[in-house]
Amino acid sequence: MTKVHNFSAGPGILPAEVLKQAAEACLNFDNLNLSLLEISHRSKSFEKVMDESRELVKELLGLNEHYQVLFLGGGASLQFAMVPYNLLRTDGTAGYVNTGVWANKAIKEAKMIGNTVVVASSEDKKFTYIPKGFDIPASLDYLHITSNNTIYGTQIKSFPKTTVPLVCDMSSDIFSRYVNGNDFGLIYAGAQKNMGPAGATMIAVDERLLGKTGRKMLSMLDYSVHIKGGSMYNTPPVFPIYVSMLTMKWLKNNGGIAWIEKKNNEKAATLYSEIDRNSMFKGTTEVSDRSNMNVTFVMTKPELEAEFDKLTKEANLSGLRGHRDVGGYRASLYNALPLESVNVLVEVMQAFEKKFA
Ligand SMILES: *Cc1c(COP(=O)(O)O)cnc(C)c1O
Asked about 102 being catalytic, the answer comes back as yes
pLDDT attached to residue 325: 85
pLDDT of residue 1: 76
**Position 157 confidence tier, pLDDT thresholds 50, 70, 90:** very high
Sorted by sequence, the CB contacts under 8 Å of residue 228 that are 6+ apart come out as none
* Mean pLDDT, rounded, of the chain: 97
Active site residue 250: no
**CA 289 to mean position of chain CA atoms:** 16
- pLDDT tens digits for range 30-71: 999 999 999 999 999 999 999 999 999 999 999 999 999 999
- The Cα 55–Cα 292 span in angstroms is 26
51, 126, 173, 193: which is the annotated catalytic residue?
193
pLDDT value at residue 99: 98
Q: Please determine, for residue 72, whether its predicted confidence score (pLDDT) is greater than 90.
A: yes
pLDDT digits (tens, 9 = 90+) for 314-346: 999 999 999 988 899 999 999 999 999 999 999
* Residues 7 and 341 sit within 8 Å (Cβ to Cβ): yes
SS3 79: helix
**Tens digit of pLDDT for each residue in 238-264?**
999 999 999 999 999 999 999 999 999
State the burial class of residue 238 (Cβ atoms within 10 Å of its Cβ: 0-12, 13-18, 19+).
Answer: buried
The string of DSSP codes covering 260-290 is HHHHHHHHHHHHHHHHHH-TTEEE-S-GGGB
Q: Phi and psi of 168, rounded to 5°?
A: -130, 125
Mutate to test the pocket of ligand 1, among 97, 101, 149, 171 (most ligand atoms within 8 A of CB): 171
Tell whether the model's pLDDT for residue 151 goes beyond 90: yes
pLDDT of residue 144: 99
pLDDT at 310 over 80: yes
* 13 has a pLDDT exceeding 80: yes
Closest approach atom of ligand 1 to CA 192:
7
Q: Which domains does the chain have, with CATH numbers?
A: 17-253 (3.40.640.10), 256-356 (3.90.1150.10)
Give the pLDDT mean for 66-78: 98
CA of 11 to the centre of ligand 1 (A): 10
